[in-house]
């Protein structure tokens, strides 16, 4: 039997899962703090903008956003399959397209900084 090409989507999914598990909880906390009016010096607008403005910062942010979106898309695809939705090709196109759109938007806004 031929070996599957699933590793392309699964490799990104696994990487996204790792990133999501480690980074997203921290990001949620760091985003909630300013939202609740607590802005430590480190998270001041100028500091964050400078971080996102640097090419390395852009790369890190893009990697986190792209991998997380891809992870969520693949998880959703598998979950729908488990729930009995059998239109896998349609589901795959829809969820990966959503992830791609989000990633492209992230790339666009990062590059404009």
Partner 1 sequence: MSQRQIELEVLRYNPETDTEPHFQRYSVLCEDEWVVLDALNHVKATIDPTLSYRWSCHMAVCGSCGMMINGEPKLSCKAFLRDYEGVIRVEPLAHFPIQRDLVTVIDDFVTKLRRVKPYLIPKEEKSIEAGEYLQTPAELKKYKQYTLCINCMLCYAACPEYGLVPKFIGPAAISLAHRYNQDSRDGGREARQQEIAATEGVWECSFVGACSEVCPEHVDPAGALQQVKIKSTIDWYQEHLMPWRNK
Residues at the contact surface with partner 1, assessed by CB under 8 A: 1-8, 10-11, 14, 78, 81-82, 84
- CA 18, 103, 4, 90 dihedral sign is positive
Q: How far apart are CA 7 and CA 16, in angstroms?
A: 13
- Helical (H) or strand (E) element with 30: helix 7-35
Q: Least distance (Å) from partner 1 to the CB of residue 76?
A: 12
Q: Which of 37, 17, 18, 19 is nearest to 27 (CA)?
A: 19
- Cα–Cα distance, 103 to 95 (Å, whole number): 12
């Amino acid at each position: 039997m031929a070996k599957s090409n699933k590793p392309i989507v699964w490799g990104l999914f696994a990487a996204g899962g790792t990133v999501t598990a480690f980074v997203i909880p921290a990001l949620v906390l760091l985003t909630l703090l300013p939202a609740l009016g607590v802005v430590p010096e480190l998270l001041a607008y100028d500091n964050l903008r400078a971080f996102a403005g640097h090419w390395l910062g852009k790369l890190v942010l893009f990697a986190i956003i792209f991998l997380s979106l891809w992870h969520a898309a693949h998880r959703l695809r598998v979950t729908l399959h488990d729930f009995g939705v059998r239109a896998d090709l349609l589901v795959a196109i829809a969820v990966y397209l959503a992830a791609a759109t989000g990633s492209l938007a992230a790339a666009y806004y990062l590059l404009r900084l």
